[in-house]
Homo-oligomer: A and B are copies of this chain.
Amino acid sequence: MKVELLSITSNPEKLIEIAGRTSHLSFNRQGKNSEKNFIKMLIKKGHTSVLEHAYATFNISGVSRVLTHQLVRHRLCSFTQQSQRYVSELNFKYIEPDSIKKNSKAHSLFIKFMEEAKKVYLKLKDLEIINEDARFVLPNAIESQIVVSANFREWRNILELRGNIGAQWEIRKLVIKILKQLKKYAPTAFEDFEIDEEKSIIRKIKVR
């Protein structure tokens, strides 16, 4: 799994402060680092709509279609995904779940089946079946690439829903990687999200 930050609003926290102060016309209260306290206050009061003015775009690759099918359900994001209709999937890569990898019988079944899927896909192509139809044999495990953009409010929502212990392991790994990058550029806007590496989850904490 590779998560590359393609783009992020410059000085996102300063922008959030400038935008947020429009509501009360309290621009004169700005100063060095004043955005920190301003954003803490927004989050405490739940006025997170102001966080919508900052955006981040990630290029996500080496993830399964299982993951992307979950991700594209977030309707406030923008997506561009690798198409199985236009891209030929000869010799595709795939994601193997840990539970399968650790079980030698399951592992060998899984590997063999993936090789079988590649062969069948190749043979269908040789029989002049087009990508669009040959893809019907492709397994969920197949690797995909997807570019996702969302504003900070929506990223916060995704982190909460998908970093949770109830979420699927692969998407939890993804949002932890995303959170790490967001924290670099906007530490205060994501301060109340804490990573537990061991359990591979994100926890929402109270910030004083």
User: Which residues of A line the B interface, CB within 8 A?
Assistant: 6-7, 9-10, 15, 18-20, 22-25, 49-50, 52-55, 57, 59, 64-66, 69, 72-73, 75-76, 78-87, 94-97, 99-100, 103, 105-106, 109-110, 113, 116-117, 120, 123-124, 127-130, 132-133, 135-141, 145-147, 149, 151, 168
**Do B137 and A83 touch (CB < 8 A)?**
no
**Do B81 and A109 touch (CB < 8 A)?**
no
**Do B79 and A73 touch (CB < 8 A)?**
yes
**Do A140 and B136 touch (CB < 8 A)?**
yes
Copies in the complex: 4
Given A123-B109, A124-B110, A137-B141: A80 and B6 interface contact (C-beta under 8 Å): no
Docked Cα-Cα span, A24 to B132, in Å, equals 13
**Do B22 and A15 touch (CB < 8 A)?**
no
**Do A109 and B136 touch (CB < 8 A)?**
no
Chain B residues with Cβ below 8 Å from A66 are 84, 135-136
**Do A151 and B99 touch (CB < 8 A)?**
no
**Do B106 and A124 touch (CB < 8 A)?**
yes
Give the residue of B80, B96, B146 whose beta carbon is less than 8 angstroms from that of A136: B96
Q: What's the nearest-Cβ distance from chain B to residue A129, in Å? A: 6
